[in-house]
Amino acid sequence: MTSHKIYVLPGDGIGPEVMQPAVAVMHKAAASAGVTLEVSEGLVGGVAIDATGTPLPAQTLAAAQASDAVLLGGVGGPKWDHLSMDQRPEKGLLGLRQGLGLFANLRPALLFAPLAEASSLKPELVVDLDILIIRELTGGIYFGEPRGVESRNNERVGFNTLVYAEHEIARIAKVGFELAQKRNGRLCSVDKANVLEVSQLWREVVSDGHKNFADVELSHMYVDNAAMQLVRAPKQFDVIVTGNMFGDILSDVAAMLTGSLGMLPSASLAASGLGLYEPVHGTAPDIAGQNKANPLATILSVAMLFRYSLDIPEAADAIESAVARVLDMGYRTPDIAGADKTLVGTVEMGELVMAQL
Ligand code: NAD
């Protein structure tokens, strides 16, 4: 029987609450798929600061590096807000991303039909929406050198550098082509090649990569148009691949098409195939410990873990279908509640998904 190592980091705030049902779902889906999971748990973020004095203990990073996949709740909260920038819980997450070499961030925007009214767009524009945004995560303007603020001609000047090397573009494009192959076969590369030289190189390298993926339909779009198209006719897209800053912005636009933070999963992948899976939302200190948090974003992150790190798409499909059925039956946590719906808590929502799995 195949066995996979999964490292679980519940983190802070609602993290442990949403993690509990997600781990239960993970075990059940694995059993149905006939695979064994070796699951261990560690500390990151505020709970790690409290226990060890650092947001990312060396033991946590080593255990994460030795796993097939990491499942994370969230880090941070008011208790640690007074700490200096490099001692804060968020530093633990950044260190984890860096230490694992996670260069591709995957953010699906999947709209479950019963939640169509939660979108800011007209229901007919978003019903059955299923797009995937792939953002390059370790390069581009957020990391480029030189950077800084300095004095020039008696005034302060701020500057950053948007830089991409060919190999960085080629490897994120490859992720885009491969995932488009597994989905509906269409990849849209988003850039600003009408203005930026780095985008012209981006476009050339992505087009070169296309030669190895003849079965994928490749298109290119300027980022301003992509932003417009995402709110005009989002269903035209299948997979979007783009750089760090454009992806940061477009993935949040796409997220809001589906209406609710409590429903959004994400994945970040390394070249080795190792992945970090986490809900898009934070630790929601305002509702922590009240059995009010929506666990579905974390449960859907588990579905991504099966799809992208363990390569068991049937298990991913089964989890997503179970979630869809529970929503169809009218069950809602408070964040997605509507008229005539049955309000449930975190624990009950988890049990409902388990029953449908
Ligand atoms: P947040 O996502 O935690 O919360 C924003 C709002 O959405 C809150 O009203 C919250 O109650 C609600 N919400 C979030 N997730 C929910 C869920 N699953 N179910 C129901 N409601 C949910 O963002 P914030 O308030 O800006 O940040 C709170 C803390 O989380 C901060 O310390 C921040 O640094 C941290 N944070 C961590 C991550 C991460 O670990 N990846 C991401 C974002 C924020």
Q: Which of 203, 225, 257 is the last residue of a domain?
A: 257
Residue of 261, 266, 294 with the most ligand 1 atoms within 8 Å of its CB, for mutation: 261
pLDDT digits (tens, 9 = 90+) for 62-72: 999 999 999 99
pLDDT digits (tens, 9 = 90+) for 253-280: 998 888 788 999 999 999 988 999 999 9
pLDDT digits (tens, 9 = 90+) for 132-172: 999 999 999 999 999 999 999 999 999 999 999 999 999 99
Q: Which residues pair with 115 in a beta bridge?
A: none
Q: What is the mean pLDDT of the chain?
A: 95
Q: How far apart are CA 224 and CA 353, in angstroms?
A: 39
Compute the distance from residue 303 Cα to the ligand 1 centre, in Å: 21
Q: How far apart are CA 303 and CA 297, in angstroms?
A: 10
The pLDDT value given to residue 119:
85
Please state, in angstroms and as integers, the Cα–Cα distance from residue 338 to each residue in 1, 108, 263, 320, 350, following that order: 44, 24, 15, 21, 19
What's the total number of domains in the chain?
Answer: 2
CATH at 203: 3.40.50.2300
The number of the ligand 1 atom at minimal distance from the alpha carbon of 298 is 18
Same domain, 273 and 251: no
Compute the distance from residue 47 Cα to the ligand 1 centre, in Å: 16
pLDDT digits (tens, 9 = 90+) for 16-39: 999 999 999 999 999 999 999 999
Q: Which of 199, 232, 257 is the last residue of a domain?
A: 257
Residue of 283, 290, 299, 353 with the most ligand 1 atoms within 8 Å of its CB, for mutation: 283
Asked whether the predicted pLDDT for residue 117 surpasses 90, the reply is no
Which positions ≥6 away from 351 have C-beta within 8 Å?
Answer: 21
Q: Which of 232, 257, 282 is the last residue of a domain?
A: 257
Q: How confident is the model at residue 118 (pLDDT cuts 50, 70, 90)?
A: confident
pLDDT digits (tens, 9 = 90+) for 294-337: 999 999 999 999 999 999 999 999 999 999 999 999 999 999 98
CATH at 343: 3.40.718.10
Domain that holds residue 215: 145-257
